[in-house]
Structure 1
Amino acid sequence: MRQNPSFAMTDVGEVRRIIEQNPWATLVSSTDDGLVASHYAVLLDDTRDDLTVVGHVGKPDDLIHGLGDRELLIVFQGPHGYVSPGWYGDRPSVPTWNFVAVHLRGVPELLPSEENLRVLDRLVARFESPMPEPRMLWERPNDPEFVDRLERGTAGFRLTPTSVTAKRKLSQNRPTELVDHIIRELEDEGPHHNPTLAAEMRRANDARA
Structure 2
Amino acid sequence: MTTDLNIMYKLPHFTAKNQDEILEFMHQNTFITLIGFDGEYPVATQVPVKTVIDGDSIKLIGHIMTKTDHCKAFEQNPKVMAIFTGAHAYISASVYETPAVASTWNYKTVQAKGTIRLMDPEETYQVIKELTNKYENPETSPAAFNKMDKAYIQKHLKAITGFEVSVNHIDHVFKMSQNHSVKNQESIVSNLEKSEDVLAQEVAKEMSKSMKDSSLRSE
2:124 to 108, 116, 124: 116
Q: Structure 2 matches for 1:1-209, cutoff 5 A?
A: 2-6=8-12, 7-9=14-16, 11-45=18-52, 51-61=58-68, 63-67=71-75, 69-129=77-137, 133=141, 135-139=143-147, 142-189=148-195, 194-209=200-215
> What TM-score does the superposition give when structure 1 sets the normalisation length?
0.86
CA offsets, 1:110-130, max 9 Å, x none? 22323222221222233334x
| Aligned-partner residue type, residue 170 of structure 1 | M
> What TM-score does the superposition give when structure 2 sets the normalisation length?
0.82
Matched position secondary structure for 2:162 = strand
Residues 80 and 207 from structure 1, CA distance in 2 versus in 1: closer, same or farther, beyond 3 angstroms?
same
Residues 193 and 107 from structure 1, CA distance in 2 versus in 1: closer, same or farther, beyond 3 angstroms?
closer
Q: 1:116, 1:155 within 8 Å by CA — same for their partners in 2?
A: yes
Q: 2:38, 2:76 within 8 Å by CA — same for their partners in 1?
A: no
CA offsets, 1:19-44, max 9 Å, x none? 22221111111222211111111121
Shift of 1:144: 1.1
In 1, Cα distance between equivalents of 2:86 and 2:57: 19
In structure 2, runs of 5+ residues without a counterpart are: 1-6
In structure 1, runs of 5+ residues without a counterpart are: none
In 1, Cα distance between equivalents of 2:195 and 2:50: 33
In 2, Cα distance between equivalents of 1:54 and 1:173: 35
| Aligned-partner residue type, residue 100 of structure 1 | K
In 2, Cα distance between equivalents of 1:145 and 1:4: 53
Runs of 4+ more than 6 Å apart: 46-49
